[in-house]
Amino acid sequence: MSFRELTYSMLLLISPLALATQVTSGNVNPKIINGISTELNQIPWQVSLGQYSYCGGTIIAPQWVLTAAHCVVYKDGTVDSKVDIVAHAVDFTSSKNAKKYVGDHIVVHPEYNRNTHSNDIALIKLSDKNEFSINTWIKLLSKEEQSLMESQFVNEWVENQTRKANLLVSGWGGTDPTKPKESGTTFLQHTLLSGVPFEQCIALWNSLDSGSVGSFDKMIHVVCATSPEPELATDSCFGDSGGPLVWRNQNNTNDKDLGLRLAGVVSFGHKCGTRIPGVYTKVSDYIEWVESILGTSLDELSGSTFTHDPFKDDYSHAMNHSAVQPDYKEHFSRGSSGGSTSLSSLLLLTGFMFSRKKTKK
């Protein structure tokens, strides 16, 4: 166990989260923010980095996990030498079905910038010849499908009223927007989000500082997502970093993988549960890089057979935390003391962008 994991496990024992170990599966409060609990094999591509999930990740090949670069890079720029990976862990209070692996080959995108979160993507390979179970890896969204998805975002987007949910996010992160760092969960949660057209995403982020135009529009390799209900705080949060943002290709719902595609990697956001969209690394822009590291075309991988479509789950019993107000004057970096910054400094300081990692390196 790494020092980071040991520290978090000690905090777990003395935090309100420890109380969750006394809750039976039949009496579990929905988590993420306004999410629902996940049952075994409903989201088989999801993994935890660390025994208690300081970050998430996605299985994309028999030996490979895709995650966020900021989950494996320290403040001084050094990269983790190895990472504990847990698959099939829907409930951290029980290790009955969990499978533990070690990833000892970690590749961070060469142009990753931890100050701006640009190119926030990394790959982790399992040690030796270990492989994940079959029917766990998910297909990456292609360039062609990216265009379809973005068109859907434009066609289905409406301001300040209920819009269609067309994305899925999952993780063990914070569940209460008013106390995001203290409300993690031992139960894997998932919820639906709405994709935000990029121009609207720029406008919403720029609204945080009326005194400057800002440079968010330079963050082109991202996908933006927000709550389908503007008045609700539905969102990813602390601890969800590196996890999957999934889109369903309506043209392929009858395929064995149900048309489910990995569209994004949880990267950063402004606080948790505000009307400012969460930001996810756009996977389709990195397919060539991924294939160069894997040494093979992703099309050559045998596809998974998924038996559950989480887009069809009943979310009516999810919590209904209300959206919280953004900070228009001060923006605090997640896991640090932070400080105030203007939007014009967006790409220079991390204070404006809150990484969605549970513990900060």
In a domain, 323, yes or no: no
- 278-282, 296-300, 311-315, 349-353: least confidently modelled range: 349-353
Say if CB 48 and CB 335 are below 8 A apart.
no
In a domain, 282, yes or no: yes
In a domain, 56, yes or no: yes
Residues 41-92 pLDDT 10s: 999 999 999 987 899 999 999 999 999 999 999 989 999 999 999 999 888 7
In a domain, 319, yes or no: no
319: alpha, beta or left, given left = phi > 0 and alpha = psi -120 to 50?
Answer: beta
In a domain, 97, yes or no: yes
In a domain, 361, yes or no: no
In a domain, 324, yes or no: no
Please confirm, yes or no, whether 120 is among the known catalytic residues: yes
Mean pLDDT confidence for 135-141: 98
Is the pLDDT confidence value at 154 over 80?
A: yes
9 CB contacts (<8 Å, ≥6 apart)? 1, 51, 52
Residues 168-215 pLDDT 10s: 999 998 888 877 776 777 889 999 999 999 999 999 998 886 444 345
| 47: DSSP letter | E
Given 80, 88, 109, 120, the catalytic residue: 120
Core vs surface per residue 49-83: b (16+ CB within 10 A) or e: bbbbbbbbbbbbbbbbbbbbbbbbbeeeeeebeeb
List the domain range (segments joined by +) for residue 192: 36-304
CATH number for the domain that contains residue 110: 2.40.10.10
Please confirm, yes or no, whether 285 is among the known catalytic residues: no
Is the pLDDT confidence value at 296 over 90?
A: yes
Rounded distance, CA 95 to CA 225, Å?
32
Number of domains in the chain: 1
In a domain, 26, yes or no: no
Supply the pLDDT for residue 220. 84
Supply the pLDDT for residue 206. 85
Q: What is the mean pLDDT of the chain?
A: 82
